[in-house]
A and B are shown apart, each in its own frame.
Chain A
Amino acid sequence: MGIRTIRLPDVGEGVTEAEVTEILVKPGDLVREDDPIAAVMTDKATVEITSAYSGKVIWIGGEVGKTLAIGSDLIRIEDESAGGDDDGAPSLAPAEAQPAPASTSSTAAQTESCPLKASPSLKVVETRPSALTSTATPPRAEGVAVLASPAVRARAKEAGIDLRQVAGSGPAGRITHTDLDHLFQNAGQAQPRNPPRPETVETVKVVGLRRMIAKRMSEANATIPHITVVEEVDVTEIEAVRIKLNETRGDKPKLTILPLIAAALVKAKESCPKIFARYDDEAEEVHYSTAVHIGIATMTEAGLMVPVVRNAQALSPYQLAGEIARLSDACREGKAKREELSGSTITITSLGPLGAIATTPIINKPEVAILGVNRMAVRPSWNGSAFVPRTMMNISASFDHRIIDGWDAAVFVQRMKTLLETPALIFMKD
């Protein structure tokens, strides 16, 4: 018999702390060696922590949402085979463990164990239907004490009754338990057939990925002076090209507009290199890479993630399509690796067919630009002699105004418009 401590292992290079997103065991549970016991999340990925011992869980050091330092005690296990207490050991190195799916329970309402009152997380905070106060006297003036014993006051509070509205039948107008009983009975009779459903308020703790998103969005919005340029693009030609390519793709991945826009971005870098940068505002340095790493904003069940297509300049549209599909699947299944979630030099965000006519994208810090792609629609267009139907799409590009001047922003947006309207230019070698 001995007590074994499982500490939070080093979950990746340079990470000093990780947030607990799931605790999979509770005190009293029996666990076997290699059983998953918790999941933690760094700013890059979720990692499953497994038990290094078999035995009974006797103590848990973290709770969902809590950030623990690497090496801090996570769980203690009573190990039946051990001779004595140990001084703690890390669990299996996570390098061997696959990143776990992002916890879905982290978005569930959290309840605290609370012997003071076993309160469910859904608290009814309604005030009762007014039928309850049908026997009420006019409300007592502000400051006039309500006459009721502590037990009656507590019962009324529990039921959401404002005792100032209740007539007391006791001596000196004291409100008694009997008065409350009558109130409930009368309320029962007087209630309309379909009483309004009581309002319930669900409290959801912001943890894990959602907390990370919230933190990053706040940071980006608070520190970056955004300038957003919206432009209309005629995508009739590029759509025709896309359809044509899909017809003859064989077993290559299906092309959406996204890989073609990514290809256009790569081409735009030749004339607008300033837009493809990472700005370290603390060091006041801007880093320009020769490579183009494109972040693709991806919606997952747990929230927004941005996987990165690395070295997009070296990929064909089909390869871009394949890589985008692979990365978004990995994100949705929670299998994206840390290195696949960082390092982008520019990001594309698209709401696809849901998208509106314009958006104001928030920059994926530390980048200096983000390209928002809006919904396509066939609109009448004047070609100089007649109205013709054209497939139109707006692009909304936001820029970090500290680094990018309005002029450069406009030049880039126009370049993107030119490339998308004349797709042959994308594939021209200068």
Chain B
Amino acid sequence: MTDLSCKVLVLGAGPGGYVCAIRAGQAGLDTIIVEKAAPGGTCLNVGCIPSKALIHAAEQFHAVAEAATGHSPLGIATASPKIALSKTMGWKDGIVRQLTGGVGGLLRKAGVRKIDGEARILDGKTIELKTAEGLSRISCEHLVIATGSAPIEVPSLPFGGDILSSTEALSLQQVPETLAIVGGGYIGLEIGTAYAKLGAKVTIVEARAQILPQYDAELSKPVLTRLKALGVEVHLNAQAEGYEGGVLRAKTADGELKIAAKKVLVTVGRRPVVAECGAADLGLDMQGRYIKINGKCQTSMRGVYAIGDVTGEPMLAHRAMAQGEIAAAVIAGEAVDWDKRAIPAVCFTDPEIVVVGQLPEEARTVNAEAAVATYPLRANGRAMTLERTDGFVRIVHEKSDGLVLGIQAVGAGVSEFAGEFALALEMCATLTDIAATIHAHPTLGETVQEAALAGLGRGLHA
């Protein structure tokens, strides 16, 4: 392959990288994007999208299985269902193909050159490219590091064989009889819940005192309740130690646990991909394991930018996308800065959790006057018709003027609130703004308006 040069070179075609490349291309900048796997990164290929597909399939199967028990309040009766997981995976792979193909098309439309290969950074303006055709070089004026993240491996539980990372767990061809999950964060819980609904006996081993440790207990409690209802065993304060002969060993205060598991899924977090692409050799300023950036996504080296998971928490596709847009605009000479007030985070457990802005505890550390208004889903008509009244909506706000500091919800289907919650925070809404906005009836969203009314002391259906 011949050596190439361009103005903007993006490493990694995940959500951050491809958005950055599209925007740069649209701005008329000569742009190349290099990706070693399929476009779309972790999110489209082995993360958000396939996991949501699996979660949906599991939910459908579970609904039929529930009806088969003969206790359906809806009057549905059916024989015991079966699942051909390989077919499910085929359907999921079709969605992934369609989306990754779409990304490829968008890049082409924006005039971006997409190159399949592995990049190694030589210096701030040059990479060495490894492709099927051999080695070559690409030189650029602006380098955008968007290499993403990879699952963290636990030394005592190395990936391979029956020890899976989230990537393999989303491509199983059969539902394992028993599945142990090391790590009770959102990835482990999402996949674990799905397999529990598909009929696996799931056990969760979490080293800390609660599942979803980044949220407060109030938010994670409905999830814990549901996990138990689904027959998922949860061991807290338990440290996984090793896996031999189909048994996962874990240490607890009460002694050693032995968990029978055909497969073990290790989801103890993700780490930025910095060393593999040579970024570590650039001598960039770091922030812990992550590449340090300013509000313009610039690193400490002139002309080198970093976006997405390599730049730290929260490791979320939509944060990467927003950063990708900023980096491209900065390169195109625009005066832009990161000034977002809110990055929503959604956890697709059952029930779902959506978190935007400050949690009550965070708000109170800054301002003792922060108040919380809550409204339960069990008082909502639409929730009843969906047979899911577990959960609530919660608005964290300034007591004095009602300024919204954060909104959270837990409940089936509340992930779709993420947009409204983020908009409220970004617009600096107050309780009055939300309360005065007509929310359609009958929808789950009425609970958001009711929570705001409650915060104003004017609750209507409460």
Q: B-contacting residues of A (Cβ < 8 Å)?
A: 112-117, 119, 123, 125, 145, 147-150, 153, 157, 170-174
Contacts of B401 in A (CB 8 A): 171-173
- With the chains together, A215 CA to B339 CA distance in Å? 39
**Interface presence of B283 (CB below 8 A):** no
Q: Which 10 A-B pairs have the closest CB atoms?
A: A172-B403, A172-B401, A147-B428, A113-B28, A149-B427, A171-B430, A116-B27, A114-B27, A114-B332, A174-B428
With a 10 A CB-CB cut-off, give which of B28, B29, B332, B428 has the most chain A CB atoms: B428
Which residues of B, 403-449, contact A by the 8 Å Cβ criterion?
A: 403, 426-428, 430, 432-433
Contacts of B329 in A (CB 8 A): 116
Main secondary structure, interface of B, reads loop
Contacts of A113 in B (CB 8 A): 28
- With the chains together, A334 CA to B45 CA distance in Å? 58
- With the chains together, A243 CA to B279 CA distance in Å? 68
The answer to whether B428 touches A115, judged by C-beta atoms less than 8 angstroms apart, is no
- With the chains together, A148 CA to B430 CA distance in Å? 12
The answer to whether A149 touches B426, judged by C-beta atoms less than 8 angstroms apart, is yes
- With the chains together, A170 CA to B401 CA distance in Å? 11
Contacts of A157 in B (CB 8 A): 335, 337
With a 10 A CB-CB cut-off, give which of A147, A150, A172 has the most chain B CB atoms: A172
- With the chains together, A215 CA to B38 CA distance in Å? 41
- Do A172 and B428 form a contact, CB below 8 Å, given A112-B28, A115-B26, A115-B28? yes
Contacts of B339 in A (CB 8 A): 150, 153
The answer to whether B26 touches A116, judged by C-beta atoms less than 8 angstroms apart, is yes
The answer to whether B334 touches A171, judged by C-beta atoms less than 8 angstroms apart, is no
- With the chains together, A87 CA to B430 CA distance in Å? 65
Contacts of B29 in A (CB 8 A): 112, 114
With a 10 A CB-CB cut-off, give which of B328, B334, B402 has the most chain A CB atoms: B334
- Do A115 and B335 form a contact, CB below 8 Å, given A147-B428, A172-B430? no
Contacts of A116 in B (CB 8 A): 23, 26-27, 328-329, 332, 334
- With the chains together, A170 CA to B402 CA distance in Å? 12
- Do A115 and B27 form a contact, CB below 8 Å, given A171-B401, A172-B401? yes
Contacts of A123 in B (CB 8 A): 333, 335
Q: How far is the CB of B443 from chain A (nearest CB, A)?
A: 25
The answer to whether A145 touches B341, judged by C-beta atoms less than 8 angstroms apart, is yes
Query: Quick one: which of B333, B403, B426, B432 contacts A150, CB cutoff 8 A?
Result: B426
**Interface presence of B398 (CB below 8 A):** yes
With a 10 A CB-CB cut-off, give which of B29, B339, B402 has the most chain A CB atoms: B339
Contacts of B432 in A (CB 8 A): 171
- Do A148 and B26 form a contact, CB below 8 Å, given A117-B334, A171-B433? no
> In chain B, what residue has the closest Cβ to A168?
B428
Q: How far is the CB of B419 from chain A (nearest CB, A)?
A: 14
Query: Quick one: which of B28, B334, B403 contacts A147, CB cutoff 8 A?
Result: B403
- With the chains together, A115 CA to B341 CA distance in Å? 26
What are 23 A-B interface contacts by the 8 Å CB criterion?
A: A112-B27, A112-B28, A112-B333, A113-B28, A114-B27, A115-B27, A116-B23, A116-B328, A116-B332, A117-B334, A119-B333, A123-B333, A123-B335, A147-B428, A153-B339, A157-B335, A170-B428, A171-B430, A171-B432, A172-B398, A172-B402, A172-B430, A174-B428
Contacts of B433 in A (CB 8 A): 171
The answer to whether B333 touches A149, judged by C-beta atoms less than 8 angstroms apart, is no
> In chain B, what residue has the closest Cβ to A173?
B401
Contacts of B430 in A (CB 8 A): 171-172, 174
Contacts of A125 in B (CB 8 A): 335
Q: How far is the CB of B431 from chain A (nearest CB, A)?
A: 9
The answer to whether B26 touches A171, judged by C-beta atoms less than 8 angstroms apart, is no
- With the chains together, A171 CA to B432 CA distance in Å? 9
- With the chains together, A116 CA to B339 CA distance in Å? 18
17 additional contacts (CB under 8 A) given A115-B28, A153-B339, A172-B428 = A112-B27, A112-B28, A114-B27, A114-B332, A116-B26, A116-B27, A117-B332, A119-B333, A123-B333, A147-B428, A157-B335, A170-B428, A171-B401, A171-B433, A172-B398, A172-B403, A174-B428
The answer to whether A114 touches B402, judged by C-beta atoms less than 8 angstroms apart, is no
Main secondary structure, interface of A, reads loop
Q: How far is the CB of B139 from chain A (nearest CB, A)?
A: 10
Contacts of A145 in B (CB 8 A): 341
Q: How far is the CB of A5 from chain B (nearest CB, A)?
A: 16
Q: How far is the CB of B111 from chain A (nearest CB, A)?
A: 11
> In chain B, what residue has the closest Cβ to A175?
B428
The answer to whether A112 touches B332, judged by C-beta atoms less than 8 angstroms apart, is yes
> In chain B, what residue has the closest Cβ to A61?
B30
- With the chains together, A123 CA to B26 CA distance in Å? 21
Q: How far is the CB of A150 from chain B (nearest CB, A)?
A: 6
> In chain A, what residue has the closest Cβ to B341?
A145
Contacts of B337 in A (CB 8 A): 157
Q: How far is the CB of B427 from chain A (nearest CB, A)?
A: 5
- With the chains together, A116 CA to B28 CA distance in Å? 9
- With the chains together, A172 CA to B432 CA distance in Å? 10
- Do A119 and B334 form a contact, CB below 8 Å, given A171-B432, A171-B433, A172-B430? yes
The answer to whether A114 touches B428, judged by C-beta atoms less than 8 angstroms apart, is no
- With the chains together, A4 CA to B401 CA distance in Å? 68
B12-31 near A? 1/0 per residue, CB < 8 Å: 00000000000100111100
> In chain A, what residue has the closest Cβ to B432?
A171
Contacts of A112 in B (CB 8 A): 27-29, 332-333
Q: How far is the CB of B413 from chain A (nearest CB, A)?
A: 27
- With the chains together, A145 CA to B341 CA distance in Å? 8
Contacts of A115 in B (CB 8 A): 26-28
- With the chains together, A172 CA to B339 CA distance in Å? 19
Contacts of B27 in A (CB 8 A): 112, 114-116
> In chain B, what residue has the closest Cβ to A203?
B333
Query: Quick one: which of B333, B335, B403, B427 contacts A114, CB cutoff 8 A?
Result: B333
> In chain B, what residue has the closest Cβ to A113?
B28
Which residues of B, 335-357, contact A by the 8 Å Cβ criterion?
A: 335, 337, 339, 341
Contacts of A114 in B (CB 8 A): 27-29, 332-334
> In chain B, what residue has the closest Cβ to A176?
B428
- With the chains together, A145 CA to B401 CA distance in Å? 15
Which residues of B, 320-335, contact A by the 8 Å Cβ criterion?
A: 328-329, 332-335
Contacts of A153 in B (CB 8 A): 339
B230-266 near A? 1/0 per residue, CB < 8 Å: 0000000000000000000000000000000000000
Q: How far is the CB of B338 from chain A (nearest CB, A)?
A: 12
The answer to whether A148 touches B334, judged by C-beta atoms less than 8 angstroms apart, is no
Q: How far is the CB of B346 from chain A (nearest CB, A)?
A: 21
Q: How far is the CB of B373 from chain A (nearest CB, A)?
A: 15
Q: How far is the CB of B238 from chain A (nearest CB, A)?
A: 39
Contacts of A147 in B (CB 8 A): 403, 428
Contacts of A171 in B (CB 8 A): 401-403, 430, 432-433
- With the chains together, A23 CA to B401 CA distance in Å? 60
Q: How far is the CB of B194 from chain A (nearest CB, A)?
A: 36
Which residues of B, 1-56, contact A by the 8 Å Cβ criterion?
A: 23, 26-29
Q: How far is the CB of B433 from chain A (nearest CB, A)?
A: 7
- With the chains together, A117 CA to B333 CA distance in Å? 9
- With the chains together, A153 CA to B426 CA distance in Å? 10
Which residues of B, 84-134, contact A by the 8 Å Cβ criterion?
A: none
Contacts of A173 in B (CB 8 A): 401
The answer to whether A149 touches B428, judged by C-beta atoms less than 8 angstroms apart, is yes
